[in-house]
Amino acid sequence: MNINIKITGLDISTAVSEYVNKRLEKISKLLNDDSAIQCDIELARTSEHHHKGDVFRAEIHIVGSGKNVYASSEREDLYSAIDDTRDEILRVLKANKSKRISLIRKSGAKVKDMIKGLWSWKK
């Protein structure tokens, strides 16, 4: 998985970069470490004239190998925004994986029923 990190309105530190890479390990493992998959991450500080504090935004967009998944989150802390976005991506990827597995099982059961039907008329 190719990872691109884009930072807007922030100074990136190695700690943030390592944190993002650590959090994406589970996503990479779920995608079977496919090198054809592109993962774009955008970390930003949104400035919409807030009275107090900063609001951070994290976006993850995964494209490739028939997948197109996007999630974003806005929080008062950059790390919690990254965690929320990662959790949403994992939820969507796991749902897609379980749908694919159940479809394979259903189609396998239909093939088995068709084969049973063929054998019954030969007897």
pTM of this structure? 0.75
Give the pLDDT confidence score for residue 60 in this predicted structure: 95
Taking alpha carbons only, the member of 52, 53, 92 closest to residue 72 is 92
HEC readout, 48-87: CCCCCCCEEEEEEEEEECCEEEEEEEEECCHHHHHHHHHH
Paired tokens of 19? 């944190």
Per-block mean pLDDT, blocks of 10 residues, the chain (123 long)? 86 86 89 86 81 85 89 93 94 84 82 77 55
pLDDT number for residue 43: 93
Q: Which pLDDT does position 89 carry in this prediction?
A: 94
Please give the angle made by the CA atoms of 76, 4 and 86, to the nearest 5 degrees: 45
Domains, the chain = 2-95 (3.30.160.100)
